[in-house]
Amino acid sequence: MTEYQIEFRRAISVKWRLIAAVLLVEIPLLALFVYSTRQATLKINHQLADVQDNGMKVFSSMLIGQMDNINEFLFVNCWANSDFASIGEQATPDEAKEKLSPFVLEAELLISANKSLEAVVFYAPKNGCIVQARDGEPDEELSRLIQEIQQSQDNINTAWTLYRRDETSLLVRTCRAGDTYAMAVMNLSDLTASARVDYNLGFSIVFREGDAFLTEALWTRDYNKNMRVNESEDGSYYFVKNKNHTWLVTEQQFAMLYIVGASVYNYDWNWLYLCGILVVIVSIGAFLLAIGYLQVSFFRPLNSLVDTICKIRSGAADLRAPETGGREFIAISGAFNGMLETLKTLRINAYESQLQARRAEMDALRLQIRRHFFLNCLKNIYALASSGEVEQVKQAALLLSTNLRYTLNFQKNTIDLATELRMCSDYMELQGIGQPQKPVLSLMIDAGLDDFELPPVSLLTALENCCKYGTCQDRPLKVRITAVLRRMDGRDYVNLSVQDNGNGFPSDILWKLNNDPDALQQEGHVGFSNTLLRFRMLYGEECQALFVNCGGARVEWIVPLPERKTTDGERNETTDRR
C-alpha cells in the first residue's frame, strides 16, 4: 500500500466535518426556537378562539331562548286559542281587527322583550284583515312575503323557514288556526348589524347557509375560499386574510344555519423577539467557532490547492498540487495531478479539430437567428396596425410566431422535407402581407420524398436569400423549389434546388460560392456554407452544392439518398462518428 493510500484512509471526510459542525451547534438551537414559537402561537390562538366561541355560545343560547318565546306565543297564545281561530270567520276586517286587539297587544310586549324579533303580523285571507303589531299595516316587503306563504303553504305550523329578498335574509315562523294566520319575522341582516350593541359581543357575526353568507360584515366583502388560511387541527377555528387585516373566525350551528363570528387578529408577538435575539447571538457564536474549525480543516487545504492551480495557470506547468487535507482534498489533488499528466499527452491537432467542429456548430446555431428578418417583420406589423389592418396583423403575428418556433428549435438535428416546405410557404406568405406585389412560391416534389430528412432551415435559408436579393421593382418575385429523385452510378440521389426570377448572383459572389466558399464565410456570409456543412455531417462528403444564374439565382444540392431510414438517435450517432 502506497503512502498516498495510507493518508487517504486516515483522513476524515471534510463533508462529514462540515455536517457535524452545523448539526451540533445550529440545528438544535433553531429547532428549539421554532418549536417553542409554534407552541406559544397555537396556545394563544386556541385561547382567543375559546373566548370568541364562548361568546357565540351565549349569543346562540339567547337567540334560541327568544325563538322559544316566539314559538310559545304563536302556538300557546294564538294557535291553541279558539278566539284566534274565529277571527278568520268574521264578516268584515274591522270586526276581525277588534277581536285581534288583545293578540296585537301581547305581540307588542313580545317584540319589546325579544330584540331579535322584527315584526309579528296577523292576517285572515277570507275577510282581508292584515294587522302588524306596533306599525298597524305591514310594508311592501312583508306584504309580498305574506302572499308567498299564502300561495305555497310550506312549513306552516311546522318549522322556521328562511326567505331571501335581494340583500335581506328573514327567518319566518307561521302558525295557522282555522283561517287565521300569525307570522313572526326575524331579520338576520338587522340582527347582524345590531349584535355588538344589543348583545355586547366583542366581535362581528354573520349568518351562513351552506357556503353562502346570508348577511354581510367587513371581512366577508370580496370573500373567496382562497382567503381562508391556517385552519386549526381540530377545526375549531380558522383565519381569513385579506390585504388589510387578518380575522380569527369561529362557527356555531344555529337552527338550520350557522352563526359565524370574526374578530380582527392583531396579536403582538414582541415578546418573541427576545427569543429571536437569543438565537441570533448563539448562532453568531457558533458560526465563529465553526469558522475557526473550518479554517484549519477546510479553508487552508482549499487555499493551497487554489494557489497551486493559479501558479500552474501562470506558466508553472511542472508544479503539482499538494496531497494534504481531508479525503476529498486528497482525491481532488490526485485527480488534478493525473489530469495534468494526461494533458501532456494530448495532440494539438485533435484539439484544433474539436475546436473547428465546435465553431461550425455555433455558426449553424447563429445562422438560425435572423435579426434583420424579424425586425423587418415587426416593422411591417407595426405599419399594418397603424393603418388599421387588424386581420393582416393577426395573420402576420401568427405566421411570425410559427417561424420563430421553428427556427429557434435546437432540439432536432433533422427535419422532414414536408415540414421544411410548409415553413417555406408560411415564410412567403409572411413576406407578402401588406405588399402590393406578393411573392409567389411554387413547389415540384417527387413522390416519396415528403419524409426525406434534411437539416432544419436549409431550404429556408436559400428562400430568404431569394427574398432579400432577388426582389425587383418591375415584377413580382417568383421562387420555385424542386426535389427530384435521380439515379447515378447505381446509387439514388436527391436533387434539391431553389430558384428565383431575380437578377441572379453577382459575378464575384458566384465565383466565390463555387470555388472559394471559405472566403465568403470569413466575410460573414455563412448561410450556404454552413448548410452544405450540415448536409455533409448527415450524409457524408458526397454532398455537393452548385450555384448558377439561369433566369435568376439558382442553388442546388446533390444529396445521396440513404439505403434505409434511421431514427434521430441513430443518425446523431452516425454524425458523431463522422
The model's pLDDT over 159-213, given as tens digits with 9 standing for 90+, comes to 888 888 777 888 899 998 888 999 999 888 888 888 877 778 888 889 888 888 8
User: Rounded distance, CA 252 to CA 259, Å?
Assistant: 5
- C-alpha dist (Å) from residue 339 to 142, 317, 328, 331, 445: 95, 12, 16, 12, 54
Identify the DSSP state of 239: E
List strand residue ranges (DSSP E) for 244-347, in order. 246-254, 257-264
What is the per-residue pLDDT for 17?
Answer: 67
| Cross-strand partners of 553 | 549
Higher pLDDT, 552 or 287: 552
For residue 365, pLDDT beyond 60: no
For residue 519, pLDDT beyond 60: yes
What is the per-residue pLDDT for 360?
Answer: 54
Q: How sure is the predictor about 480, in pLDDT bands with cuts at 50, 70 and 90? A: very high
User: Rounded distance, CA 349 to CA 472, Å?
Assistant: 48
Per-residue pLDDT tens digits for 29-75: 777 777 777 777 888 888 888 888 898 888 888 888 888 999 999 99
Q: What average pLDDT score do residues 331-343 get?
A: 76
Q: How sure is the predictor about 373, in pLDDT bands with cuts at 50, 70 and 90? A: low
User: Rounded distance, CA 406 to CA 399, Å?
Assistant: 11
For residue 102, pLDDT beyond 70: yes
Give the three-state DSSP class for 497.
Answer: strand
The rounded percent of the chain whose pLDDT value lies above 70 is: 82
Within 8 A by CB and 6+ apart from 363, the residues are 521, 526, 530
Quote the mean pLDDT of the chain: 78
Per-residue pLDDT tens digits for 78-98: 998 888 888 888 878 888 888
- C-alpha dist (Å) from residue 444 to 18, 164, 477, 487, 551: 70, 74, 17, 18, 18
For residue 503, pLDDT beyond 90: no
Instruction: Look at the pTM and tell me if it is higher than 0.75.
Output: no
Alpha carbon 535 to chain centroid distance? 42
What is the per-residue pLDDT for 410?
Answer: 56
User: Rounded distance, CA 567 to CA 563, Å?
Assistant: 13
Give the three-state DSSP class for 181.
Answer: strand
Sorted by where each starts, the structural domains of the chain and their CATH numbers stand as 203-267 (no CATH), 366-577 (3.30.565.10)
For residue 230, pLDDT beyond 70: yes
What is the per-residue pLDDT for 395?
Answer: 75
- Residues 544, 548, 552, 558: what is their CA dihedral angle, to the nearest 10 degrees? -20
